[in-house]
A and B are shown apart, each in its own frame.
Chain A
Amino acid sequence: MAAGQGFWGDDLEAPIRQVNGGRIDYLMLDYLAEVTMSIMRKQMSRDPRAGYARDFVPLMERVFPACVERGIRVVTNAGGVNPLECARAVADAGRRAGAGGRARIGVVTGDDLMERLDELLAAGHSLDHMETGRPLAEVRDRVRSANVYLGARPIVAALARRATVVVTGRSTDTALAYGPLAWEFGWARDAWDPLASGVVAGHVAECGAQASGGNCSAEWWSIPDLAAVGFPIIEANPDGSFVVTKHPGSGGMVNLRTVKEQILYELGDPSSYITPDVVADFTTIRLSEEGRDRVGVHGVRGRPPTPFLKVSVACSAGYRAVGTLVYAWPDAAAKARAAARILRERLDRLGLTYERVLVELVGWDATHGHLVGEPPPDLPEVQLRVGVRGRDRASVERFTREVAPLVLTGPPSVTGFAGGRPRVQEIVAYWPALIDRRAVEPGVAVEVVEV
């Protein structure tokens, strides 16, 4: 199984390299992040045929011939909030690529709860925020999308119906990997250990090259040929154990360091990695180096899942804007801070208030904060970065007009304003919640679209 995309916007050529670089049976493509669904819903509100990862369609047009000739099957969450429309577009691409009559697309639906939201709330599913505990009713009128994370079962069902391409909406990233493994090896629903191992495979693969040398902090300079980085390949066994590798001749590297870093990425409690199908215990993972660019993974233990599924709700939460200016030597940081004080004083005099105003000096403290201490007077240059957010759009809008004037009305040796006025963005906040799976699972369906 080859991983071809780590997010929507990842290396467009990576899936092609995965298909052409060696033998594979499955290609998994992860396109969705926490707030991607709300972006897609906004796109669909403007165009009812949009709302999915459009990049996926031209990609499929390129790989369809290999899929039908070599039996490669593609599993992806590219469907976003409009998986059926995505499948139709992919079917068209398949016909253009000469796969007409030779392929089928399985479409998973039922993750989208937006239309059912009031019905669910009325039935007592309060969808409390998992961190703050607040009930969703408080922000009901600001909800922009609500999708439940689905697991492997609908993917297995689509593969059982001989789908060449499986398109889902909001499925978990890891299910794109362990779904095909569960189908291929016929894992039972209670095959906890193999399923948990498949979850680890998915977690390792879901971020693409982050497992094969990309963004690796261990002696990063020693990682070869990242320009042609090989995305991860999972060689899985029926018992769930697997080897992480990459195609021969590709760039990057796979070793204990690169794999461990990815295992720890965005991890919570390692003993309870919760998915819709199994709870995996990452403290049971055993790794072994099995030759160049090969890491073995075995021993993973799993236990039954919880009665809940996770819901990803996106709600509108006001507006934001970020403005920047660059100050040069001498006293670059002192000038930038003086400019920030002047800006705040002007905003105060205008009577503008915000939920939050953040001042950072990019080139000094923007990422490591107070850990770097006070800037030296000889700092060659620094970028002043000021962000505001608030509920009132007009106040944020006015802020965007107060940054550029600092060039003529503030401290000297300032530049870097050619990008123009900052843009006002709507904030779409992520609201994670849990729902009784029995309220959702009956609505999950698989449809087949013929190419």
Chain B
Amino acid sequence: MAEVRLVELAHARSGDKGDTANVGLIVYEEMDYPLILKMVTPNRVKKHFKDMVKGPVERFRLDNLHAVNFLLHGALDGGGTVSLMTDAQGKVFSTALLRMKIEVPDEVAERVRGRGRHPGAGAGDSL
């Protein structure tokens, strides 16, 4: 087994609805969808974000798009104009989720290594 970041397996977009941020996570390749379903559970996502998400995390499947939609409740400091956060509209919770690391079989790690990052980004992945 090896560790990869979600950014190598999937792309994502996020936005807001009141104090809830949503993150849509979409696999690059259909074959990786079961892996995402198994590894990126609401519990794992809640643990990943810790106190960045005050309320529960919900997950909805869109098998038709090989995607899952997460609702992160209580993530936006009240949301909208109430929120003092730089990211009051939850626009970059997408890449915050893509930071998450999951365990995958070696052959998957080999296949996806380096994907999702600008070719000029180099090998630096210390953060």
Q: Which of A266, A271, A360 has the most CB of B within 10 A?
A: A266
The one of B20, B22, B60, B119 in contact with A271, judged by C-beta atoms closer than 8 angstroms, is B60
CA–CA, A320 to B28, complex, Å?
41
B79: chain A residues at CB < 8 Å are 430
Decide: A371 and B96 in contact? CB cutoff 8 A.
yes
In the complex, residue of chain A having the shortest beta-carbon distance to the beta carbon of B55: A131
Q: Which of A66-74, A181-189, A382-390, A438-446 contacts B (4 or more CB under 8 A)?
A: A382-390
The one of B13, B52, B65 in contact with A265, judged by C-beta atoms closer than 8 angstroms, is B13
Q: Which of A218, A221, A358 has the most CB of B within 10 A?
A: A218
Decide: A358 and B77 in contact? CB cutoff 8 A.
yes
CA–CA, A317 to B71, complex, Å?
25
Decide: A368 and B92 in contact? CB cutoff 8 A.
yes
B92: chain A residues at CB < 8 Å are 367-368
Indicate whether A389 sits within 8 Å of B86 (C-beta atoms), given known contacts A218-B11, A270-B60, A286-B64: no
Q: Which of A119-127, A163-171, A227-235, A256-264 contacts B (4 or more CB under 8 A)?
A: A256-264
Instruction: Give the secondary structure class of A's interface.
Output: mixed
Decide: B12 and A429 in contact? CB cutoff 8 A.
no
User: Measured between C-beta atoms, what is the minimum distance from B126 to chain A in Å?
Assistant: 9
Verify if B82 is at the interface (C-beta below 8 Å from A).
yes
Interface size on A, residues (CB 8 A): 56
State the total of A-B contacts with C-beta under 8 angstroms: 136
Give 17 CB contacts A-B under 8 Å.
A131-B18, A131-B20, A217-B94, A257-B11, A260-B67, A265-B13, A269-B60, A270-B69, A356-B77, A360-B86, A366-B85, A366-B86, A367-B92, A368-B95, A369-B49, A371-B96, A389-B84
CA–CA, A368 to B118, complex, Å?
19
- Counting chain B residues whose Cβ lies within 8 A of the other chain, the interface size class is 35 or more
Q: Which residues of A contact B (CB under 8 A)?
A: 34-35, 130-131, 210, 215-221, 257, 260-271, 282-287, 317, 320, 322, 356, 358, 360, 362, 366-373, 385, 387-389, 425, 427-430, 432
Decide: B99 and A368 in contact? CB cutoff 8 A.
yes
Decide: B84 and A322 in contact? CB cutoff 8 A.
yes
B80: chain A residues at CB < 8 Å are 34-35, 429-430
User: Measured between C-beta atoms, what is the minimum distance from B68 to chain A in Å?
Assistant: 9
Decide: B81 and A217 in contact? CB cutoff 8 A.
no
Verify if B50 is at the interface (C-beta below 8 Å from A).
yes
Decide: A264 and B81 in contact? CB cutoff 8 A.
no
Decide: A261 and B13 in contact? CB cutoff 8 A.
yes
Verify if B48 is at the interface (C-beta below 8 Å from A).
yes
B63: chain A residues at CB < 8 Å are 283
A368: chain B residues at CB < 8 Å are 92, 95-96, 99
Decide: B82 and A362 in contact? CB cutoff 8 A.
no
CA–CA, A131 to B20, complex, Å?
10
User: Measured between C-beta atoms, what is the minimum distance from A152 to chain B in Å?
Assistant: 22
The one of B13, B28, B49, B64 in contact with A285, judged by C-beta atoms closer than 8 angstroms, is B64
